[in-house]
Amino acid sequence: MKTLALVLFLLTYVGLLIFPKFRAYIALGSAAIFVALGFAGILPMIDVFATVDWNVILMIAGTMGVVSLFIESKMPSKLADFIIEKTPNVKWAIISLALFAGIISAFVDNVATVLMVAPVALNISKKLKFSPVASIIAISVSSNLQGAATLVGDTTSILLAGHANMNFLDFFWYKGRPGMFWVVEIGAALTIFVLLVLFKNYKQPVNSLEKTVVTDYFPTVLLVGIIVLLIFASFFENKPATTNGIICVSLMIIGLIHKYIKTKDTKTFTDALKELDYETILLLAGLFVVIGGIKEAGVIEDIGQLFVNASNNKFIIFTLITWASVLISAFIDNIPYVATMLPVTSAIAAALNMDPYILYFGLLVGATLGGNITPIGASANIAGIGILRKEGYEVSAKEFMKISVPFTFTAVIAGYILVWILWA
């Protein structure tokens, strides 16, 4: 049975790689097979739902809805206008936009961040008549980098928080030590020097741009409200497992009601439902069941044992997990990878009698930042390339990697060293 479970799991991953447009269907189909074969211990049927982390699902859905309203309000463009006003030339405008995208993406989905900030870079490039390719790439990789800084910044962070029972504040300070936020921010600060070298010839002065008018400030309040309420909820112990998810979805609903009252448009709710990323939500739901299945079959423990057999040295194991995650995430989506590897790292830590958090953080550094290396390694990169393609610019992997490789390795090396120093 264990062999069959492993084969089904590997076939699922191959399907996710070969048919990226059908990822959700593949994950759900595989989940259905696991349930049918009884690998996940699903009797009675209600246990199927117990394998799905509904807190993660609700958080993603609710945050997506609020972010959609936030983008629609044009507040991100307004903030970008303010930043550009303070920059002397294109070099600093691009670097400032990249850093701005990073800061925003610490609290907003990475793809949404790229969709917010990239149009500003396009506007500058059109007015000053230079190619927007390098600037959009810089914005994409910077956005992907800082998604790991907070609980709500990226799906991988939400997955870690759900698995390790971490709250919003734990990403800032955890068990008496600096959390992932500081690891990511120090890496981000070092990438400024990389961007300064890459854009050293972009010296054109930035002319005054047309000012963006914010149409509604309420979505900004909602987005800040999510952060504040998640922090507030983190102080309560023994709260319902779906507390964070309920907070995010509730604020999304409040935002939609506000918009409906303001516009009297009956399409408000249906349009909001259309904006949700169902592919990611269904993909995760299916994967949770699949992972529950291979865990029940004992495959997770066996994969963990492979790492342990490779070495019982904690530093070597930490290094393997971090850099293997960089390499793997450069070519496959980091969401299914992290969802799979979190229970594996738990098994490894248990086998070596070590604190699992250093492995969790090494996994997050490698998987989240490693996706920056190639154009297909992260959803933010794919979104950025798609925006450029619509503008008539085809970006080769070589052109992308001229920026992404030095940027990524600077951030990963910094994160790798810091996590070991802080958590070893």
State the DSSP code for 170.
Answer: G
Predicted confidence (pLDDT) at residue 230 exceeds the cutoff of 70: yes
Residue 361: pLDDT above 80? yes
Of the listed ranges 115-119, 214-218, 414-418, the one predicted with least confidence: 115-119
In a domain, 400, yes or no: no
d(CA 235, CA 31): 35
Tokens of 19: 């048919």
pLDDT of 44:
45
pLDDT at 43 (0 to 100)? 40
**Residue that the structure tokens 């399409």 belong to:** 267
Q: How many domains does the chain have?
A: 1
Separation between Cα atoms, residue 323 and residue 52, nearest integer Å: 28
Residues spanned by the domain of 41: 2-297
pLDDT band at 362 (very low <50, low <70, confident <90, very high): very high
pLDDT at 233 over 90: no
Q: What angle do CA 405, 408, 414 make, to 5 degrees?
A: 135
- Given this model, what pLDDT does residue 83 score? 72
How many residues can be counted in the chain? 424
* Section 103-123 average pLDDT: 78
For the entire predicted model, the pTM comes to 0.72
pLDDT, residue 144, reads 84
| Structural domain includes residue 304 | no
CA dist 297 to 3, 31, 341, Å? 9, 14, 16
Q: Per-residue pLDDT tens for 11-63?
A: 887 887 688 678 788 888 988 888 887 755 544 455 667 777 788 788 778 87
Cβ neighbours around 262 below 10 Å, total: 12
Token representation of residue 261: 């009252």
| Mean pLDDT along residues 405-411 | 92
Average pLDDT value for residue range 113-133: 79
Residue 58 lies inside a defined structural domain of this protein: yes
Beta strands in 50-168 (DSSP E): none
The reply to whether 363 falls in a domain is no
Dihedral pair phi/psi, residue 178, rounded to 5°: -60, 140
CB 83 within 8 A of CB 96: yes
The Cα angle at residue 234 between residues 231 and 240, in degrees rounded to 5: 125
Q: Mean pLDDT, to the nearest integer, of 223-250? A: 82
Q: In Å, what is the CA distance from 415 to each residue of 26, 368, 383?
A: 33, 11, 25
pLDDT, residue 253, reads 92
Give the CA radius of gyration of the chain.
21
Q: What is the pLDDT of residues 151-206, one digit of tens each?
A: 877 778 888 988 888 888 889 998 889 999 999 999 999 999 999 998 888 888 87
Tell me the C-alpha distance between 180 and 191, whole Å: 17
Q: Is 174 domain-assigned?
A: yes
CB atoms within 10 A of CB 78: 16
So what's the pLDDT on residue 250?
Answer: 94
Backbone angles phi, psi at 149, to 5 degrees: -75, -35
Mean pLDDT estimate for the chain: 83
368 in any annotated domain: no
What distance in Å separates the CA atoms of residue 324 and residue 326, rounded to the nearest whole number? 5
Residue 70: C-alpha distances to residues 111, 118, 160, 212 (Å): 14, 16, 25, 14
Tell me what pLDDT residue 10 has: 84
Identify whether 335 is part of a domain: no
Distance (Å, rounded) from C-alpha 418 to C-alpha 424? 10
pLDDT at 189: 92
Question: In angstroms, rounded to a whole number, what is the distance separating the alpha carbons of residues 371 and 149?
Answer: 15
In a domain, 313, yes or no: no
Q: Would you say 226 and 204 are in contact if contact means Cβ atoms under 8 Å apart?
A: no
Of 335, 275, 278, give the one whose Cα is nearest residue 25: 278
